[in-house]
Amino acid sequence: MWTRHLFLKLSANSTLRRWMESSPHARHLTERFIAGETLEQELDVCANLEQQGVWAALDHLGESVTTLDEAAQSAEAYVAALDGIAARKLASVVSIKITQFGVDLSPAACLANVVRVVEKGKSIGSRVEIDMESSRYTDRTLYIAEQASALGPVRCVIQAYLHRSRADVERMNRLRIPVRLCKGAYDEPVTVAFPSKADVDEHYLQLMRTLLDDGTYPAIATHDPRMLEATTAYALERGISADRFEFQMLYGIRRDLQRKLVEQGYRLRLYVPYGTAWYPYFMRRLAERPANVFFLVRNLFH
């Protein structure tokens, strides 16, 4: 637990971030989790994954912006990514954050930026996935997802560690908005989120069953073998075919499980980030699993 809190705290350290993101040695440390700094590097990785039977969700790294011009540039980056997906005929989608699209500056401008990307996605036969950030953005993220879903294919992330998530999943199911279910990766107070891993796991399983039963093409996002086994067992028990849902994982994490799912005939999509503003994402990946920290330490000495 202490490692999680340490790396989450470090993810907000601006001095360390500037040093890491400008370090010539950083690529050696980050290449397992991050496709590269450019869109072309990202698309190369996505094309290679498709040859292995795996789809991708592209994430252009960057979170809160400070001007509306930056927010518009973020939207433009995703439009360019969708153009690249279309040009290469990839079965990829893009995954966005509303803080990157200016929600803290202007909710209306943020929605307009999201709609622009959603409409672009629709025009090429793709989809936009809307990431969930800390709980202070939950209501705004769901509102934007609901508004944008009327204009093109959208999938919204729901975090199982939040107390409110059952009601949110049920609402998304009623609206026929697809959901990506994850456990959650932000530090939250006990008034908002389950503090116990056992409680989070149980809530995750409950929400997974609800999504498989009543959801619209849900994504079950996890690296936990127990959650994967429970999902496949429940789908088999209920007669839910493998084309009615997909699994999602993060690029570079639990490649053994990724291969196993594909070999078993399940659909798998990897969340594949790229860009220069990679530091917060990288630190959250270290916070999630001790094995990721061990990977970092090994690479420091190679």
Residue 266 is given by DSSP the state -
C-alpha triplet 156, 159, 163: angle, nearest 5°: 125
Q: Quick one: which of 250, 99, 258, 275 has its CA closest to 182?
A: 250
Residues in the chain: 302
- What crossing angle do the helices spanning 197-214 and 225-238 adopt, rounded to 10°? 30
CA atoms within 13 A on the CB side of 134: 10
Task: Respond yes or no: is residue 59 known to be catalytic.
Answer: no
Whether 131 is catalytic is yes
Give 172's contacts (C-beta < 8 A, 6+ positions apart): 142, 145, 156, 158, 178, 179, 215
What end-to-end distance do the CA atoms of the chain give, in Å?
27
Q: Closest Cα partner for 93 from 102, 106, 84, 105?
A: 84
Catalytic pick from 17, 155, 180, 269?
180
Q: Tell me which residue has tokens 């370090």.
A: 23
What is the DSSP secondary-structure string of 91-121?
A: --EEEE-GGGGTTTT-HHHHHHHHHHHHHHH
Q: Which of 59, 131, 168, 201 is catalytic?
A: 131
C-beta neighbour count of 206 within 10 angstroms: 14
Q: Which residues are annotated as catalytic?
A: 131, 180
